[in-house]
Structure 1
Amino acid sequence: MSFEQFRAPWWQPGGHVQTIWASLCARYQAQGAQPQPWLRERWDTPDGDFIDVDFSSHAVAANAPTLVLFHGLEGSSSSHYAKATALACAQRGWRLAVPHFRGCSGEPNRLLRAYHSGDVDEVDWILRRLQQGAGGDLLAMGISLGGNALACWVGVQQQAAAQLIQGAAVVCAPLDLVAGGVSLGRGLNRWIYTPMFLRTLVPKALGKWQQSPGVFDKAALLRARTLHEFDDVFTAPVHGFENADDYWIRASAKPLLKQVAVPLLLLNA
């Protein structure tokens, strides 16, 4: 494993500027290109739920590579990075698939469970099904939460991952969820980014409470002001973890990286 030091341009001195600039640049690229509609498929999951998968609609060769993009927390095919990736795939003649984690495609999923950073079973099922329809190489890419989940999967699968994908890229992922969560819970991060996530996470969780009243502490959910508090009251108990700390430790990809047996690019500022 090799590392290359990231050196920011002089006019991007900090993480906030780099984050906002990348978002604006991707939006500008996507808006400047001819928009292509997504082709959506709804897949029934083995446990009686469903996910929606959006495919790029640009023309590709029958043996073209397929890139699978796992979106970040509360992301979707409408996210700026998904649109920018679709543009890049169109320029290269690649097919793009954007599977939505449960509840992220614009419609609530059927079951109580949602999604989380270590959802390796979901990633595995998605990639195995996509491989069946791939005419050429299958490649995987994950952003943020989706990147950590993908990195967990390649670490858990080890040599078996090479039977499904030819390589993977993980972009801006919190591979150490404890460190990432602590960072998001303090300073400017707590006031800039955390409210953006909670603005959609909390209403979705309240919808789950309507499905299964009493399964978690509704009052504590409404008091949540950090991702740790949200994960402690909702994500952890709903997905089989003891609490937020247990979830963050067990779902972090960092300890699994030494087991990866496929070409893997980790891109983090």
Structure 2
Amino acid sequence: MDSPILDLAGITLEVNHLPRGVRFYTHLFGLDLTRHDDDKGVAEFRVNDSQSLTLWKPITRRKNDERLGKLRARGASHLHFAWQVQEADLERCKTILDAYDVHWTELDLGTPERPDRTLYFYDPFGHGLELRGVNLSDERQPTFPPKPTERSAHALPVIGLREAAIGFSDYDAMKERLPRAYGFCFVKEQDDRDFAQFVLSPRPELDGDGTPQRWLYCWDPQIGLADMHGGDHATLKFYADVDAVARRVAQAGLEHGHDDLGLVVRDPEGHVFEFVHP
């Protein structure tokens, strides 16, 4: 049976200084700022035609978003997430990061026959960022394929969001619940730690080798690759067959809300997932 999950639509981060976050993601990434509301502590950016990045400032006893706030949604803290760049642009990314005095680490997640290079660094708030090379001609295309985007020559040439990694204290329960209660498509897990990979696509696909597909990584709260944590109380948005996900969520008895905008669900571990029509 195909998964009702289609693609990654957006990521929400928690930041303790909204203007600094706006400067970082506007200047270093060249993202278009589509909303900046200091009173609500919200800044929203356009990543491309189908994906967005949102910053929320923690505001005591108030909600950044009334609709999601009903499920006690927060932006993720210390989230690890990845961006897609064209493989040929990775060397230029190093130069740009150096110009902004951002320390980076390079790892090769591939093989000698097929390298899969990636750059890791942090934003000013402790979120772990990754730049992952993508082969745009790969036949494994997501619902919304990444496309070259015109950005400032001084900005990282990102073309899409690739993945988000979130933490679960009860790993075994998560691994059973995510496919059953939402329909996420499990692909594999690592041999040496509790680390499950779910592809954000209707059908199983293998990770790596420049795939343009998008991913949800779920692991234990321990530090993972490149000293990065999976995020807690994450707020993530996915494109999906909303009605199909809603039936699963209702049967699982999870706390949720369903309206004309889509479906929002609070996972037992405190993450809030939003599912919207493509």
- TM-score, normalising length from structure 1? 0.24
- TM-score, normalising length from structure 2? 0.24
Bigger relative CO (Cα 8 Å, ≥ 6 apart): 2
Select the structure that is richer in helix: 1
